[in-house]
């Protein structure tokens, strides 16, 4: 039996779903000769660690109780168990690095970042030097400075981050295979936001933008403040990761980002309630005119990232109605990759690109994918 010990940083929606997947897949993994040992779990305030990191991980019943506490809005500090130790915020980084030092270069250790924090970058940069592996759903470490990105990618076999771009979709794996084959990538264009994919396909049917955004919010497709989606920053982070994988040495301020709302309606100037009730309706006319103009040309509007040459842009594009992106409906993600081998007909990757369950499944697949690095 091959054992992979891991530390999970971040136990919100994605992190808890990952723990549930690990527990539910025990039988499957056992039949494959694999065991995933969760040695510790941290949130932003606390770290729970098994008492015996050399022999076993946290008990599955304890992991399920941890998920219940987090779903109810509680903190790890509320948990107590004879077989675990609890560390408070000031000790988090010190204890995590201690575990990395003990296990990283010996039996191996995986650090799984399912947080949404930029504070994990410092830890990840240190543990990768200690021989640890890194699996990420968190986009922020890879969209930090170019220096941080290169440090994390210093050992490419030890890093997996499929879920930073397309949840469970094989975007990064496909792109890496193309690059490894020597097939030059000329252009990438993709709808990488399930929220904005839904919004643009609905306004195509003639519905007002304000109505569509309200519906998306009620369906749980958007963040509590829909401007976090409408501003395009999430798509820009995904685009930056793809561009850097292709070799572009760029930062976020290099990317042209089109926001679907003006600065005057920003979070610092307008409350969420005011934006939804009085701000959004003011945007209906402009979007509708753009939809009608595209339709007159036989096209549709999609909110996409475009990476071509040394340029990287994020915003609304007018695209052929019969193209893979033009046929997009609902909240799926679609990515078109154009290379020497895929010139007239691009490689198309499509499927559910959001959701805690789907993202966690992608993280678990990444963990299993690095098992050959463990004795």
> Quick check: pTM over 0.85?
yes
d(CA 247, CA 236): 16
Whether residue 249 contacts residue 231, with contact meaning beta carbons closer than 8 Å, is answered with: no
**So what's the pLDDT on residue 88?**
72
Residue ranges, CATH 3.40.50.720, the chain: 2-167+357-373
Question: Which pLDDT score, from 0 to 100, does residue 104 have?
Answer: 64
- Please give the class, per CATH, of domain 2-167+357-373: alpha beta
Query: What homologous superfamily is domain 185-352 in, according to CATH?
Result: Dihydrodipicolinate Reductase; domain 2 (3.30.360.10)
Annotated binding residues for NADPH: 139
Residue 282 DSSP code: G
Within 10 angstroms of residue 132's Cβ, the number of other Cβ atoms is 25
Return binding residues for L-homoserine.
Answer: 223
Q: Are 100 and 132 in contact (CB under 8 A)?
A: yes
Tokens standing for residue 361: 């499944």
pLDDT number for residue 21:
98
Q: What is the pLDDT of residue 77?
A: 77
The H-or-E segment that residue 189 falls in is: strand 185-191
Torsion of CA 224, 241, 136, 90, to 10 degrees: -70
Give the residue among 166, 221, 163 at the shortest CA–CA distance from 192.
166
Counted residue by residue, the chain has a size of 375
Residue 11 CB partners (closer than 8 Å, separation 6+)? 19, 41, 42, 43, 66, 67, 70, 76, 114
Cβ atoms of residues 318 and 300 within 8 Å? yes
What is residue 136's three-state secondary structure? strand
Residue 81: its pLDDT value, please? 58
Annotated binding site: 10-15, 139, 223
Which letter does DSSP use for residue 341 in this model?
A: S
Name every residue whose Cβ is closer than 8 Å to that of residue 114 and which is 6 or more positions away in sequence: 8, 9, 10, 11, 12, 14, 15, 18, 137, 138, 360, 363
Alpha carbon distances (Å) from 187 to 238, 312, 323, 340: 15, 10, 15, 10
In the chain, where does the domain assigned CATH 3.30.360.10 lie?
Answer: 185-352
pLDDT in tens, the chain (375 residues): 899 999 999 999 999 999 999 999 999 999 999 999 999 999 888 888 887 666 678 999 999 999 999 999 888 877 765 567 777 766 777 878 887 887 766 668 999 999 989 989 999 999 998 889 999 999 999 999 999 999 999 999 999 999 999 888 999 999 999 999 999 999 999 999 999 999 999 999 999 999 999 999 998 888 889 999 999 999 999 999 999 999 999 999 999 999 999 999 999 999 999 999 999 999 999 999 999 999 999 999 999 999 998 999 999 999 999 999 999 988 899 999 999 999 989 999 999 877 889 999 999 999 999 999 888
Positions annotated as catalytic residues are 238
Alpha helices (H) in the chain, listed in sequence order: 13-24, 26-31, 60-71, 92-103, 121-129, 146-152, 163-166, 171-180, 194-203, 209-218, 227-230, 233-245, 272-274, 284-296, 356-369
Kindly give, in sequence order, each residue whose CB lies less than 8 Å from that of residue 189, ignoring residues fewer than 6 positions away.
304, 305, 306, 307, 317, 325, 335, 336
Identify the bridge partners of residue 99 per DSSP, sorted by sequence position: none
């Amino acid at each position: 039996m091959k054992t992979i010990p891991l530390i999970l940083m971040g136990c919100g929606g994605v992190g808890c779903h990952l723990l549930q997947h690990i527990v539910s897949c025990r039988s499957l993994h056992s039949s494959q000769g694999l065991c995933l040992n969760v040695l510790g779990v941290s949130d932003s305030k606390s770290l729970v660690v098994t008492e015996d990191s050399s022999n076993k991980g946290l008990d599955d019943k304890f992991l399920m109780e941890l998920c219940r506490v987090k779903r109810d809005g509680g903190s790890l500090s509320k948990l107590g168990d004879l077989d675990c130790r609890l560390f408070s915020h000031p000790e988090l980084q010190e204890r995590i690095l201690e575990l990395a030092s003990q296990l990283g270069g010996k039996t191996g250790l995986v650090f799984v970042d399912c947080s949404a924090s930029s504070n994990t970058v410092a830890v990840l940069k240190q543990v990768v030097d200690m021989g640890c592996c890194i699996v990420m759903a968190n986009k922020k470490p890879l969209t930090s400075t170019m220096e941080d990105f290169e440090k994390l990618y210093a050992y490419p076999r030890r890093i997996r981050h499929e879920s930073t771009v397309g949840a469970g979709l094989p975007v990064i794996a496909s792109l890496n295979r193309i690059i490894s084959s020597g097939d030059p990538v000329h252009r990438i264009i993709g709808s990488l936001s399930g929220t904005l994919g839904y919004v643009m396909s609905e306004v195509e049917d003639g519905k007002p933008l304000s109505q569509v955004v309200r519906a998306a919010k009620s369906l749980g497709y958007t963040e509590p403040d829909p401007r976090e989606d409408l501003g395009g920053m999430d798509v820009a982070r995904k685009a930056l990761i793809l561009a850097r994988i292709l070799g572009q040495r760029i930062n976020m301020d290099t990317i042209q980002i089109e926001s679907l709302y003006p600065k005057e309606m920003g979070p610092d100037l307008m409350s969420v309630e005011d934006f939804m009730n009085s701000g959004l309706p003011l945007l209906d006319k402009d979007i509708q005119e753009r939809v009608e103009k595209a339709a007159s040309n036989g096209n549709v509007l999609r909110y996409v990232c475009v990476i071509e040459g040394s340029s990287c842009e994020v915003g609304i594009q007018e695209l052929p109605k019969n193209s893979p992106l033009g046929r997009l409906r609902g909240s799926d993600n679609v990515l078109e990759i154009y290379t020497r081998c895929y010139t007239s007909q691009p490689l198309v990757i499509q499927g559910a690109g959001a959701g805690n369950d789907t993202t966690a499944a992608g993280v678990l697949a990444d963990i299993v994918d690095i098992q050959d690095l463990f004795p």
